[in-house]
Amino acid sequence: MRKNIVAGNWKMNTTLQEGVKLATEVNDALKSRTPNCDVIICVPFTHLASVKAAIDDSKLGLGAENCADKAKGAFTGEVSGAMVASTGAKYVILGHSERRQYYHETSEILKEKVALAFENGLTPIFCIGEVLEERENGTYFDVVKKQVEDALFHLSADDFKKIILAYEPVWAIGTGKTATADQAEEIHAFIRKTIADKYGNDVAEEISILYGGSCKPSNAKEIFSKTNVDGGLIGGAALKAEDFMGIVDAF
> Which are the catalytic amino acids?
96, 168
Pick the stretch among 32-40, 115-123, 128-136, 228-236 that binds ligand PGA (CB under 6 A).
Answer: 228-236
When binding is defined by CB under 6 A, the residue of 6, 163, 204, 234 that contacts ligand PGA is 234
When binding is defined by CB under 6 A, the residue of 64, 209, 233, 250 that contacts ligand PGA is 233
Number of shown-chain residues binding ligand PGA (CB under 6 A): 13
Q: Is 8 exposed, middle or buried (0-12, 13-18, 19+ CB in 10 A)?
A: buried
CA distances, 63 to each of 69, 93, 149, 195, 228 (Å): 17, 7, 24, 25, 24
**Shortest separation between residue 37's beta carbon and ligand PGA, angstroms:** 16
Q: Is 235 in the site for ligand PGA (CB under 6 A)?
A: yes
Chain center to CA of 14: 19
How far, in Å, CA of 160 to CA of 197, rounded?
Answer: 13
For the chain, state the CA radius of gyration.
Answer: 17
How far, in Å, CA of 228 to CA of 195, rounded?
Answer: 13
When binding is defined by CB under 6 A, the residue of 72, 103, 174, 182 that contacts ligand PGA is 174
**Contact track, ligand PGA, 191-220, x by CB under 6 A:** ---------------------xxxx-----
* Planar angle of CA 84, 89, 94, nearest 5 degrees: 65
**Contact track, ligand PGA, 21-40, x by CB under 6 A:** --------------------
Q: Measured from the CB atom, is 33 or 177 closer to ligand PGA?
A: 177
Q: Is 173 in the site for ligand PGA (CB under 6 A)?
A: yes
**Shortest separation between residue 196's beta carbon and ligand PGA, angstroms:** 25
Sorted by sequence, the CB contacts under 8 Å of residue 163 that are 6+ apart come out as 114, 123, 124, 126, 152, 155, 207
Residues 131-170 that bind ligand PGA (CB under 6 A): 168
How far, in Å, CA of 228 to CA of 75, rounded?
Answer: 40
Amino acid at 88: G
Q: Can you give the binding site for ligand PGA, defined by CB under 6 A? A: 9, 168, 173-174, 212-215, 233-237
